[in-house]
Amino acid sequence: MIPVLPADIIPPKGSAQPFVQAKHPRNFLVTGATGFLGAFIVAQLIDRVLTLDGVQPDSTALDPLKVTCLARAKTNDAALARVITNLQHHSCWNPQYEPYLVGIAGDISRAQWGLADEDWTSLATSVDAIVHNGAVVHFLAPYHKIAPTNVDGTIWALRLAVAGNKLKPVHYVSSGTVLFSPHQFVTLLSRGEIVREDDPLDPATTVLCTSYGETKWVAEKRCAQAAALGVPVTVVRAAWISGSSKTGTVTDSSSLLFHLIKACIEIGAVPETDEKVGLVAMTPVDYVAELVAALTLMDAAQIKDMPQLRTEPAGTWARKWNLAVLSWDQWCARNVYAIRTQGRGHPLAPLRNQLLGWMQRYLLSIPDWSTMQTNMVMRAWREQLLAANVVEVPTVLATPADELMPLYLADLVVKGFLPAPKAKGTQNLRAKL
């Protein structure tokens, strides 16, 4: 059944249609600022606004910059402390950010995000844009456990967008998993087609690979319904988010991507994949954050996709560790045996029952993805920054994965997450990887 948008999510009377972005938005609300991507979004928003302020002849006349971050905590000070600690952990922190950051204690899984009426009203009347990045990312949790955060939390973001007699844009960070249905993948692959950014979501009767994908699917449907009524919504479908392309470091080694790599190294084998499919789609975290900042700071058309960059074929990096290439069934059997032997110490132990289920379809049956709208937004953002005489501007396309994967792997070796490669002549890891 298609979810129904609550009747109270209606743009205020007199709102301009179509919505016109404020020329200089200054007051932002960010959810999920205590997560991996959230840290980079907060840093990128502040950096870009301060950079633009530095080249604006009338910047002194602008309202003060303010980035309010909602986080679970007992007090607002504790919420701010959590955000700052997270930015420090992910090497995003700059002391100059502190005057512009505000913490607010709340919980997006609760009604009105757990905020008192006066706090909710204050945000509704002051915020210029909402970046809704908060979510529970868990591929094994049942739907009812994560829906309060992922679905209901998004509904409250849409309510906030129309509250306070002030219409505000919502920039929603979704996931490519909304398209991960076996039916859609098989259909596209059989036709030799790609996933386009404006492709409609599969019908509600379609079974997705994970409950997490289902929650994001429902939340996207709500966003689309709100947009049809005039609420300004952009949707960014993030790929498998990898480390920073600027530093080559991985501050989120808990990612399933790197646990898969670690499992391959531990059992001494990689699964055999077709050259055109089964190559993990990943995008550098700083590129995703730059796109979110671009959408928040510029007047851009709705975008529904993130660049889906395929990593290099397994054999390219696998040779560094002298890994064999096995069929998927053989690779799974070897992992299952290793899980029985190592127990919870194996990188894929929690996913034992999924090895022959959605993981196989996910890793071996992913079609190519179009990124045309993403490229258009990033090109327009780059041109806007260049016109403002900004020196450091982003690239239109994300750094190719085959350039970044060696740096990520070397960083994980140095940190002790991965063992050193067994191939000869690899003493200088960062140079040889």
pLDDT digits (tens, 9 = 90+) for 264-276: 999 999 887 655 4
Contacts of 113-121 spanning 24+ positions with Cβ under 8 A:
113/70, 113/153, 113/156, 113/160, 120/160, 120/163, 121/163, 121/164
In this structure, how many other beta carbons lie within 10 angstroms of the beta carbon of residue 127? 22
Going by their DSSP bridges, the two strands 269-271 and 27-31 should be labelled as: unpaired
Element of type H or E holding 284: strand 282-284
- pLDDT value, residue 404: 86
Where along the chain do its domains lie?
27-247+281-310+368-393
Please count the residues of the chain: 433
Return the bridge partners of 68, or none.
29, 102
Average pLDDT over residues 4-20: 82
Looking at residue 384, its amino acid is Q
Cα dihedral 215, 370, 161, 17 sign: negative
% pLDDT > 90, the chain: 43
Position 370 scores a pLDDT of 73
pLDDT at residue 423 above 80?
no
Asked if residue 289 has pLDDT above 50, the reply is: yes
Backbone angles phi, psi at 233, to 5 degrees: -130, 135
Q: What is the pLDDT of residues 238-251, one digit of tens each?
A: 777 889 998 888 88
Higher-pLDDT residue of 421 and 360 is 421
Confidence of residue 53 (pLDDT cuts 50, 70, 90): confident
Classify the phi-psi angles of 281: left when phi > 0, otherwise alpha if psi is within -120 to 50, otherwise beta: beta
Structure confidence by residue, pLDDT tens digits, 298-326 = 865 445 555 555 555 666 677 788 889 88
Residues 180-237: tens digit of each pLDDT? 665 665 566 555 667 677 766 766 545 666 788 889 989 999 999 999 999 999 999 8
Taking alpha carbons only, the member of 234, 25, 12, 239 closest to residue 127 is 25
Correct CATH for 27-247+281-310+368-393 of 3.40.50.720, 3.90.180.10, 1.10.3720.10, 1.10.10.10:
3.40.50.720
> Which single residue is written with the structure tokens 């002194």?
60
Which of 102-111, 162-171, 277-286, 368-377 is least confident? Answer: 277-286
